[in-house]
Amino acid sequence: MKLPAYELRRRLYIIFRGEEGLDYGGVSREWFFLLSHEVLNPMYCLFEYANKNNYSLQINPASYVNPDHLLYFKFIGRFIAMALYHGRFIYSGFTMPFYKRMLNKKLTMKDIESIDPEFYNSLVWIKDNNIDECGLEMWFSVDFEVLGQVIHHELKPLGDKERVTEANKEQYLQLVTQWRMTRGIEEQTSAFLDGFNEVVPLEWLKYFDERELELMLCGMQEVDVDDWQRNTIYRHYTRSSKQVLWFWQFVRQMDNEKRARLLQFVTGTCRVPVGGFAELMGSNGPQRFCIEKVGKDTWLPRSHTCFNRLDLPPYKSYEQLCEKLNYAIEETEGFGQE
C-alpha cells in the first residue's frame, strides 16, 4: 500500500504465501474478500455496527484508542478504492449516510433514522411540536459519551447561552443533524476519503448515487424471492389481497439488479443476512419484512428502513402499482413522498 496510486491501479496478480496457483481473477477476489473482512472487523475498534441490530458499518468515534488510527483509515480508504477500481467486492457494507458522505451529498435528518432511530424520533417530535408551548429548556449545545467520558459540544458559538425556541428550531435541527452525522469522526472520515481519492478520484463517483455505490462495492446477492415471500408479514392486507399478489408478481418479473434496488429501498441495504429473510433485523431486533396498507391510490409507496416496512397504497391496477413502485425505487431516497 506504500506504492504510488498508479501502481495500485495496474493489473493485479495475487499470490498467497505457501500456495500455488495462477491468479485469473479468483485469487484476487478471495484476497479482497478476506482482507476486507479483517480490516473492517469491529473488534479492532476502527468501525462499529450502526446500532445493535444493524449489520451495516460506520466509523467508530472511539477509534482513537489505536494511536495510528488515522493512518489505518487512510490505508483502508486506498484498499476500498482498489477494490472498486478492480471490480472486486468487499465483505461488509457501510451505512447509506457513509456512502452519501463519499459522494459529497448533503445529509438530512432522515438519514439519522437508520443509525439512531431513538435520536431521530426525538428530532421528529421537536419538528412536529411547538417548543414554546411545551416549556422545554433546550440550548444550542449537546452532550455525548465516548468510552465513559461525557463530551460537551456547542452547536454554534455561544450555543450554551442561546435557547431553542419555535422561531429558531429549524436552525437547531439542521445543526444537530450535521453534528450527529459527524460527531467524533471528522478526522477519520477525512483520512479515509484522502486515501480513497489517491487511488480513485472522488469526482469519478459523481455519476452514481449511494445505492449504486453500495452495489459496486458489495455486489449483488441473488435475491431469493420465495424466501422473501415466505418471511413477509402483512398489515391491513392479507396474502391473497390483489395488491399483495401484484407486488410479488412485480418482484418476480424483475431482474436481480432491480430486485437489489427494491431491497435497498425497503430495508436500506442490498445485503441479506446469511440466514435469509427470516433473520432481517430492524431497529428493535429481529424484524421481518412487512407490507402495510396505507394511504390512497394516488400516493407513492413509502419505505421505513428501520422497520423493514413498505407502505403500499391500495392501487387499482397492476400497471398503476408497477408505475408507482418503479418511480419510488428510482427517484426517491428511502422515503417515498405522498
What are the residues whose beta carbons fall under 8 Å from the beta carbon of 186, sequence distance 6 or more? none
Cα–Cα dist 31/28, whole Å: 5
- Write out the three cell numbers for 76: 483502508
Q: Examine the residue annotation and report whether 306 is marked as an active-site residue of this protein.
A: yes
Residue in this structure with the C-alpha cell 396505507, named with its chain if needed: 294
Cα–Cα dist 261/11, whole Å: 30
Which of 45, 270, 306, 322 is labelled catalytic? 306
DSSP H stretches of helix in the chain: 5-8, 26-39, 69-85, 96-102, 117-128, 131-134, 169-182, 186-199, 210-218, 225-230, 242-252, 256-267, 318-331
- CA angle (322 as vertex; 320, 323 as ends), nearest 5: 65
Q: How is residue 223 annotated by DSSP?
A: P
Distances (CA, A) of 207 to 103, 129, 210, 259: 9, 39, 10, 21
- CA angle (295 as vertex; 256, 127 as ends), nearest 5: 100
Q: Which uninterrupted H or E stretch holds 336?
A: none
Q: How many CB atoms lie within 10 A of CB 71?
A: 12
Do the Cβ atoms of 256 and 220 come closer than 8 Å? yes
Helices (H) and strands (E) in the chain, counts: 13, 10
Cα–Cα dist 106/100, whole Å: 7
Half-sphere exposure in the Cβ direction for 210 (13 Å, CA): 24
Do the Cβ atoms of 149 and 172 come closer than 8 Å? no
Q: What positions carry a catalytic annotation?
A: 306
